[in-house]
Amino acid sequence: MSDLIRVTGISATGFHGVFEEERRSGQVFIVDVELRVDLALPGATDDVTTTVDYGAVAKVVEGEIKGEPVNLIEKLASRISSRIFSEFNLVDSLVVTVHKPSAPVQVLTSDISISIERFR
């Protein structure tokens, strides 16, 4: 399937990380999601109930960013993918990218990110 819904730049402050300072002060995380969905029916009918509500997807992602802290952004991405699959039955597969632009590394970087791809 080649149909894709992409929501990029979902940002919120979270308290994820392995260091105490990250957990105490928090930082901005940015998430992009790519959802593989069959869009033939909504394309033919113009019926909003036959597609994925990308506003609702963004709220789910925001909730996970703001939610219970985890050590690794890999875990955060995994939680986001699980929630999307559980709440949006039309999603066949997805890619979740979590950006941590203020990651505490010893080298100047503009961004650190991971991406995971999952299939239903």
Q: Which residues are catalytic?
A: 100
Q: Alpha-carbon Rg of the chain, whole angstroms?
A: 15
* Structure-block tokens of residue 37: 């969905």
User: What is the H or E stretch that residue 30 is in?
Assistant: strand 27-36
Classify residue 49 by its DSSP letter: G
The dihedral sign for the CA sequence 90, 94, 100, 104? positive
Q: Decide: 82 and 67 in contact? Cβ < 8 Å.
A: no
Q: Give me 57's structure tokens.
A: 């997807």
